[in-house]
Structure 1
């Protein structure tokens, strides 16, 4: 039986353009638990190899995104400093899709 084609995200298309090899994985989704740690467990991989993309807003930089390992927690102060801001905070979940075009659990870097 042939492999079912997995739709590519913009991140995958960018990797294609840059000639960077990668593998797309399909995993069953539980809408009540979209955590990167759960995805890592379902894939049977080290959580340090799975990244989550978080959407934040900084006082000087505006809307920003951070990609961090599944097992890590975002440090808002470090994020703010990295983009030349004084403060940064995650945006409310209701704002993620209008800002990024991605639904919760599906934000690509």
Structure 2
């Protein structure tokens, strides 16, 4: 299923795409520690507007949520809470990322977390044939169709970024 630009060890995110027979490409880049999405796009050559970051929030109900937004944008927590049917949500602390997701900061993919959390993807993703998300480890990016991504993580598209 995958078209690999470099030989690599598969991540949980890639295994899930393979299992669901979803086409994707991987792009690997040299990086030993967290860098933000803009620098990742610069390293990989991925268009900024098609590059998305994965954020994790927790609602007042204590439920966790996955938010997939363009790398240059900020999440509007009030809008996101409304979309998710929560009174309010807040971003989880960096120190809790691994405990909640199984991933490290900078390598958090919307695919293959410890649990399948309710997920929303910024609606602008629907305007692209392919988007770029974390491959599930630092130094790995996945290029995937946003509709296929949404299907496999049971996500919905909505507008929840700061205008």
Q: Which consecutive unaligned segments of at least 5 residues does structure 1 have?
A: none
Question: Does the residue aligned with 1:25 lie in a helix, a strand or coil?
Answer: strand
Q: Indicate whether 1:50 and 2:67 are aligned.
A: no
Aligned to 1:27: 29
Deviation at 1:26, TM superposition (A): 0.6
Structure 1 residue runs of 4+, over 3 Å off? Answer: none
Question: Considering only aligned residues, what root-mean-square deviation do their CA atoms show, in Å?
Answer: 1.7
Instruction: Map 1:9-88 to 2 at 5 A.
Output: 9-29=11-31, 31=33, 34-60=35-61, 62-88=63-89
Q: Which consecutive unaligned segments of at least 5 residues does structure 2 have?
A: 111-163
Structure ranking higher on relative contact order (CA contacts 8 Å, 6+ apart):
2
Give the strand-richer structure, 1 or 2.
2
Aligned positions, number: 106
Cα distance in 1 for partners of 2:61, 2:45 equals: 39
Q: Which has the larger radius of gyration?
A: 1
Deviation at 1:101, TM superposition (A): 0.8
Deviation at 1:66, TM superposition (A): 0.8
Question: Does the residue aligned with 1:24 lie in a helix, a strand or coil?
Answer: strand
Q: TM (normalized to structure 1)?
A: 0.86
